[in-house]
C-alpha cells in the first residue's frame, strides 16, 4: 500500500532523517519505506524558515516502473546536428526505440572543451569552434545547470530521472528548484555520450553541418565539413549561437522568422548580502539564496534571468571581436558573488528591419560595441550600479569585485547598449530594490554584454514537427526557437524523436 503525505514541514537546520518520524506521527503507524517526491524551501517567515516535503510512504520498497518503448523496424539514416540537451535527449529516445542516430557536434568532447574554455579565460585566444557556446553539452554546460520545467510537462519527471541516472545528484528529482551545477553537468554529459555509443549510436566531434540538400521537398543528403552524406532524417538541434547555420538555412529556402529576446548585462552582488536579504541574519547553513525579479517600471519589461548563486561571470564569445557574458555556478554554489542576467526585452522595432536574421545582426552589433568599450582583448566593460543610476562613469571597485576572468574596463552602459535598453534598466533597478533589499547597492557591478539569452530566430515547423516544405528535417530545441533552457530543450528533443519514431512506425 502507498500513501502520499503533503506539506510535511521540517525546520531548515534539522537533519532529513527526522522525516521518517514525522511521517509515522502523521500516519499514526510505523513507516517502513518512504520516497521524497518534492522538496522546497519556505523562507517567507524569516524567523521560521523550513523545508516543505511531499513524501510517498509504503509497506515495501518503492521502485519506478521500467518504461516500454515501441521498436522501429524500418531502417533510416538519422543525423542529429548539435550535442546540447535537445540533441542528446533526442538521441537517447531514438535509441530507446531501436533507431541508431549519428550525432554531429561542431565542437569538441566535453573534456577537451573544458580545457579550451579554461585556455580562453587565461589567454584571451578564442577557438571559434569550441567555447562556452559550442561543444558537447551545449551552452548550458557552462551555466548553473538549472532544470526548471513547466510543471505540466509530460516529460518533466523523465528528464529529471534521466539526469540522475547519468550522474546528477539524486535530489534533482524532487527539489523545487533543481540544479546540477556546471561541474556535475560535465560528467553527466560524458556519461550520456558513453551510453549512446554503447547502444550503437555514433558521436562525431569537430563535425559541423555545413549544408543541406533537398530534392522534391524532401531531405536527400547533408554536408558535414563540406563532405556529402546521404540522409533520411535530420534533427536540427544546433543551439542559439549557430549563426552560420542560420545563414545556410535561409539560403536553402527554410522558412524563418525573427524572434524577440532580451539583452542587457550581468549584475553581481555579494552572495552573503543576497542570502541575508532573502533569509534574514540567520542564513548560515542554508542554501545560497537566489532571486527572480521582474519590473514593469517602464514600457519595456526588464527581468533577471539565469541567476547563479555563488557563481562567476564567464567570458562567452563565439565570434572574434565580440564580448559576450554568461553566468555559471558549480554545484556547491560557494563563490563570494551572486550574479544574474539583468535584461530588457527587444524585438523587431529594435532590430531595424524585417529580415529573418536582423536579430542576429543586432546581437553582433552589441557584442562588437562591448568589445570596443572594453578596450579589446575580450576585456569586459563594467560600471557600478550606483554610478549607472546617476549617469556617472565608475573608477573604483568596492566590496564587490568582478569575477569575469579576462579583466575588465570601466565604461558606461551607454557605450554599448541602446538608449531604450539603458533607460529601461535605469528604471527597473530601483523598482527591483523594493522587492530585494540591496539589489540597487551602489557597489554592485554591471558587466556587459548579456546578448545570448535565447535564440533570435525561429525555424518554422509544421504540426508534424518537420520544417515547412522540407520533409525529413526537424527543427528542434532552443536554437531553432522552441525552448528556453536545459530542461525545455531536452523536452523538445524527446518530442521530436517521438515524431520521427511515429513516422517510421507507419
pLDDT tens by residue, 369-399: 999 999 999 999 999 999 999 999 999 999 9
Distance of CA 170 to the CA centre of its chain: 20
Q: How much is the pLDDT for 171?
A: 93
Q: How much is the pLDDT for 149?
A: 61
Residue of 21, 17, 16, 27 lying closest to 50 (CA atoms): 16
Q: How much is the pLDDT for 404?
A: 98
Q: Is the Cβ–Cβ distance between 49 and 43 less than 8 Å? A: yes
Residue ranges of the chain with per-residue pLDDT less than 50: none
Fold of 78-257+456-505: FAD/NAD(P)-binding domain (3.50.50)
Q: How much is the pLDDT for 29?
A: 82
Q: Cα separation of 166 and 163, whole Å?
A: 5
Q: Cα separation of 191 and 110, whole Å?
A: 11
Residue of 158, 198, 180, 170 lying closest to 65 (CA atoms): 158
Q: How do residues 353-373 score in pLDDT, each as one tens digit? A: 889 999 999 999 999 999 999
Q: Is the Cβ–Cβ distance between 238 and 209 less than 8 Å? A: yes
Residue of 149, 152, 245, 166 lying closest to 489 (CA atoms): 149
At the top level of CATH, the class of 2-58 is: alpha beta
* Partners of 211 in beta bridges: 223
Burial of residue 248 (CB within 10 Å: 0-12, 13-18, 19+) is middle
Q: How much is the pLDDT for 387?
A: 98
Residue of 109, 332, 270 lying closest to 205 (CA atoms): 109
Instruction: Quote the strand ranges of 294-425, DSSP E.
Output: 294-295, 302-308, 312-315, 325-328, 337-346, 380-384, 408-410
Query: To which H or E segment does residue 228 belong?
Result: strand 227-230
Q: Cα separation of 80 and 64, whole Å?
A: 30
The three three-digit cell numbers of residue 135, written as one number: 561543444
Where do the CATH 3.50.50.60 domains begin and end in the chain? Answer: 78-257+456-505
Q: How much is the pLDDT for 258?
A: 95
Q: How much is the pLDDT for 68?
A: 85
Amino acid at each position: 500500500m502507498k500513501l502520499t503525505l503533503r506539506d510535511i514541514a521540517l525546520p531548515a537546520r534539522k537533519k532529513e532523517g527526522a522525516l521518517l518520524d514525522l511521517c509515522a506521527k502523521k500516519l499514526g503507524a510505523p513507516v517502513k519505506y518512504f520516497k521524497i517526491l518534492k522538496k522546497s524551501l519556505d523562507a517567507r517567515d524569516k524567523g521560521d524558515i523550513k523545508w516543505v516535503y511531499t513524501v510517498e510512504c509504503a509497506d515495501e520498497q518503492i521502485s519506478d516502473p521500467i518504461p516500454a518503448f515501441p521498436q522501429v523496424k524500418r531502417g533510416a539514416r538519422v543525423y542529429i546536428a548539435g550535442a546540447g540537451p535537445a540533441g542528446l535527449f533526442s538521441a537517447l529516445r531514438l535509441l530507446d526505440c531501436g533507431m541508431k542516430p549519428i550525432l554531429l557536434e561542431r565542437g569538441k568532447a566535453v573534456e577537451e572543451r573544458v580545457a579550451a574554455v579554461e585556455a580562453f579565460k587565461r589567454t584571451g585566444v578564442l577557438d571559434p569552434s569550441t567555447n562556452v557556446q559550442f561543444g558537447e553539452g551545449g551552452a548550458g554546460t557552462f551555466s548553473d545547470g538549472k532544470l526548471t520545467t513547466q510543471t505540466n510537462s509530460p516529460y518533466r519527471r523523465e528528464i529529471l530521472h534521466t539526469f540522475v541516472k547519468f550522474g546528477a545528484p539524486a535530489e534533482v528529482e524532487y527539489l523545487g528548484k533543481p540544479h546540477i551545477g556546471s561541474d556535475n553537468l560535465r560528467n553527466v554529459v560524458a556519461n550520456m555520450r558513453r551510453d549512446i555509443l554503447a547502444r550503437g549510436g555514433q558521436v562525431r566531434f569537430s563535425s559541423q553541418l555545413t549544408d543541406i540538400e533537398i530534392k522534391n521537398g524532401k531531405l536527400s543528403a547533408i554536408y558535414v565539413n563540406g563532405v556529402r552524406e546521404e540522409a533520411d532524417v535530420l534533427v536540427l538541434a544546433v543551439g542559439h549561437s549557430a549563426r552560420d547555420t542560420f545563414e545556410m538555412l535561409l539560403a536553402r529556402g527554410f522558412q524563418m522568422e525573427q524572434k524577440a529576446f532580451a539583452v542587457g548585462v550581468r549584475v553581481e552582488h555579494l552572495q552573503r548580502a543576497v542570502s541575508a536579504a532573502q533569509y534574514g541574519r540567520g542564513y548560515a547553513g542554508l542554501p545560497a539564496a537566489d532571486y527572480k525579479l521582474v519590473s514593469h517600471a517602464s514600457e519595456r519589461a526588464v527581468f533577471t534571468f539565469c541567476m547563479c548563486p555563488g557563481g562567476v561571470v564567464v567570458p562567452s564569445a563565439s565570434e572574434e571581436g565580440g564580448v559576450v557574458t554568461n553566468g555559471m555556478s558549480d554545484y556547491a554554489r560557494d563563490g563570494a558573488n551572486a550574479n544574474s542576467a539583468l535584461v530588457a526585452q527587444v524585438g523587431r522595432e529594435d532590430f531595424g528591419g524585417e529580415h529573418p536574421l536582423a536579430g542576429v545582426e543586432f546581437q553582433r552589433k552589441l557584442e562588437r560595441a562591448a568589445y570596443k568599450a572594453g578596450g579589446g582583448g575580450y576585456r569586459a566593460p563594467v560600471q557600478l550600479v550606483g554610478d549607472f543610476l546617476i549617469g556617472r562613469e565608475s573608477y573604483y571597485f568596492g566590496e564587490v569585485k568582478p569575477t569575469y576572468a579576462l579583466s575588465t574596463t570601466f565604461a558606461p552602459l551607454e557605450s554599448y547598449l541602446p538608449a531604450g535598453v539603458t533607460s529601461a534598466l535605469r528604471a527597473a533597478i530601483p523598482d527591483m530594490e523594493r522587492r530585494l533589499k540591496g539589489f540597487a547597492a551602489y557597489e554592485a557591478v554591471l558587466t556587459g554584454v548579456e546578448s545570448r539569452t535565447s535564440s533570435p530566430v525561429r525555424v518554422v515547423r509544421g504540426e508534424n514537427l518537420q520544417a515547412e516544405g522540407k520533409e525529413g528535417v526537424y527543427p528542434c530545441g532552443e536554437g531553432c526557437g522552441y525552448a528556453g533552457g536545459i530542461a525545455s530543450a531536452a523536452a523538445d528533443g524527446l518530442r521530436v524523436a517521438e515524431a520521427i519514431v511515429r513516422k517510421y512506425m507507419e
